[in-house]
Amino acid sequence: MKKTKIVCTIGPASDSERVLAEMFKAGLNVCRLNFSHGSHEEHKVKIDRIKKIREELKMPVALLLDTKGPEIRLGVFEKPVEIVQGQEFVITTRDVIGTNQICSISYKNIAAEIKPKSRILINDGLLELQVIDILNDTDIECVAVNSGTLSSRKGVNIPGLRVNLPYMSEKDISDIEFGIENDVDFIAASFTQRADDIIQIRKLLEKHKSKIAVIAKIENQEGLDNIDEILAEADGIMVARGDMGVEIEPEKIPHLQKQLIKKANIAGKPVITATQMLESMTHNLRPTRAEVTDVANAILDGTSAVMLSGETAAGEYPVETVAMMTSIANSIEETLDYEKLFDENASLHETTITNAIARATCSTALALDANAIITASASGITPRALSKFKPKVPIIAITESPQVMRKLALDWDVYPVLADPIKSTDNMFDVCSRIAKDTGHVKKGDIAILTAGIPIGKAGSTNLLKVEIIE
């Protein structure tokens, strides 16, 4: 069983029942729905289909709603136009139809805030403009740094510009409320720049009495600068290398990725590494060697999950891509030095009762060469604490809550199992062992390290550890 979780974007290539079921079996853990595209009606169809398949297959697959966020986009063109290196071009906040001389932009404050010599990057940086002059309060004169094509609604990045847009647009609020109504498990908060962005989402969730987990997408310099306060507030982060690689020099991304993953590991929160991981498999049956190495290095860095975007949303081989990612994860996880990993992580986390028991559990599992760690958890706190210490053996998390089960779908090495409430302390460990055996996670003769908390059902009360040979 792979320890690293896989997040897959669901789109036209992957939203049939047959393909979804095959992706589930190939190793998918979390379904990502990109709300930059599609209507609520279209997303409702996808969500219902995912729920149907996961119920049929009895698999703890979670739903992640990825918000549109405070994006800047070009206006409308009648048709794509060619821009030639060195030509002058006007960006305007006026509502005009785009030509090869001028186009509209959605950010209305740009003329007041941008400076001459600023870079304007369009369509993931494929076309770069440099600002020559601010002509008036609506128009900016630019020169094309390179040749390229412009067309309707392309994304715009302006490195170094602090964009003064409301963090949550009316669309984002509507999308999140839709997610609450449809029981999504995670919200991926696009373009998170500060802790207050996460707090705004939390307030909206609290208003609706929702406990959806919030993942902060780190995509620009502001998010990087404020990563510590963001991590303190968010439930996890995503290393969103797409926009990050546009606004920040691409050669800096590998080091930043390692830094972000390490900070998330220290905080004990899940981290998703995303963008272009197996992009060539959008059209090819096999990935490039560089892509395989990229996925492998993210796992070696300590990522909790790896993500597929266009590969599964619009690619020709969505099932094969998930299977390849699973194969890479399994191969790399077999080579990890788990004693070294434990030693490195044992000193990173503050000494609370839960952390002390989790550390002792993982240490005992290593010393006895155990086959599994089994825990009963009402809140998910114990399995997450165990996951921090990167154990060699699987963490079987038994919970009575479907919501907790699905939230654990993003945590490294955690295999959640839904069960009836365990009411008696006397037989708690026997029940946990039986459930783990019945679900195929352990077998007779295996050594299991069991941990839980008394009183049963009290969140964060982990205080027991027991070694057991499975009967």
Which sequence positions are flagged as catalytic? 32, 73, 217, 275
Answer positive or negative: Cα dihedral of 52, 58, 59, 65: positive
Query: 236: Cβ–Cβ under 8 A, 6 or more apart, which residues?
Result: 213, 215, 216, 264, 269, 270, 271, 272, 304, 410
Answer positive or negative: Cα dihedral of 293, 294, 300, 301: positive
Cis ω before 455 (30° cut-off from 0): yes
Q: Distance (Å, rounded) from C-alpha 186 to C-alpha 406?
A: 9
Q: Distance (Å, rounded) from C-alpha 90 to C-alpha 103?
A: 7
Place of tokens 């008036």: 136
Tokens at residue 436, please?
A: 């783990």
Query: 41: Cβ–Cβ under 8 A, 6 or more apart, which residues?
Result: none
Query: Would you call 49 helix, strand, or coil by DSSP?
Result: helix
Q: Distance (Å, rounded) from C-alpha 424 to C-alpha 404?
A: 21
Burial class (CB in 10 A: 0-12, 13-18, 19+), 114: buried
Q: Distance (Å, rounded) from C-alpha 231 to C-alpha 163?
A: 21
Query: In this structure, are residues 288 and 281 in contact, taking their beta carbons and an 8 Å threshold?
Result: no
Number of residues assigned to the chain: 471
Q: Distance (Å, rounded) from C-alpha 223 to C-alpha 167?
A: 13
Report the run of H or E that residue 431 belongs to, with start and end: helix 428-438
Q: Distance (Å, rounded) from C-alpha 6 to C-alpha 397?
A: 18
Q: What is the DSSP letter of 98?
A: B
Nearest CA among 223, 221, 194 for reference residue 119: 221
User: Which residue type occupies 349?
Assistant: H
Pairing mode, if any, of strands 119-122 and 155-157? Answer: antiparallel
Give the rounded distance of the alpha carbon of 267 from its chain centre. Answer: 16
Query: Would you call 14 helix, strand, or coil by DSSP?
Result: coil
